[in-house]
Chain A
């Protein structure tokens, strides 16, 4: 059974970097089929996909245009985790952040999510 468990601070100061980590159990961050994603939800912006990382003989990353200049999603194969770094945060980045798996057996779906972490920028 695949599970994701997120960790990271719930409060970040404006202009600093938001950092979250998602630990994977039951699958591998280096899987040749799975894709590992970050999303967030806020009342003002709704549910928004932020970025992803995946391995297909080499590592790939894709990012949403709205955060492309500030975001890094990276794998950690030694701990089977992937992380989110969002630089220069503002109060607009206050949201519930989710990590999620796209399993690769269909196009563009998220079959496993964590419960989310509320991050406030203040």
Chain B
């Protein structure tokens, strides 16, 4: 099972929005509504911020939102803040492969 494709980097100024794509295939992202997103500050534990494509765990700000169209899922961070600068990873279920991870995107707040 190949990794899901994410852009290596994305950036935005404070207050702006940034959207990160996560492209898979009809066997994973396109087939199941089981896409999750993780925020990772280096040296810390990764944090679940979106699951089931659009759901936010308790405590995650509504500035984080998820969506999906066809084989591509997206994470949008609205109202960018300095603390949003981190690496972001998507993940999908792919049937026989329970966890297929994305290549990761480094978000920079300018």
Q: Which of A10-18, A78-86, A109-117 touches B?
A: A109-117
Contact with A along B50-76 (1 / 0, CB 8 A): 011001010000000000000000000
In the complex where A46-B3, A46-B103 touch, is A111 in contact with B48 (Cβ < 8 A)? yes
Q: Which of A25-33, A47-55, A87-95 touches B?
A: A47-55
| Chain B, interface SS category | strand
Chain A's closest residue to B3 (CB) is: A46
Q: Is the CB of B103 within 8 A of A108?
A: no
Contact with A along B1-44 (1 / 0, CB 8 A): 10100000000000000000000000000001010101000011
Q: Is the CB of B91 within 8 A of A108?
A: yes
CB neighbours (8 Å) of A46 from chain B are 3, 101-104
| Chain A, interface SS category | strand
- Taking the complex as formed, is B81 at the interface, i.e. its CB lies under 8 A from any CB of chain A? no
Q: Which of B48, B92, B103 contacts A110 (CB 8 A)?
A: B48
Measured in the bound complex, the distance between the Cα atoms of B105 and A46 in whole Å is 10
Chain A's closest residue to B96 (CB) is: A62
Q: Is the CB of B98 within 8 A of A115?
A: no
Chain A stretch 57-107: residues in CB contact (< 8 A) with chain B? 62, 64-65, 98, 100, 102, 106-107
Other A-B pairs beyond A47-B89, A106-B36, A108-B93, 10, CB < 8 Å = A47-B102, A49-B99, A65-B1, A98-B45, A106-B55, A108-B92, A109-B51, A110-B36, A110-B91, A115-B43
Q: Which 9 A-B pairs have the closest CB atoms?
A: A108-B93, A113-B45, A49-B99, A107-B34, A109-B51, A109-B36, A47-B101, A115-B45, A113-B46
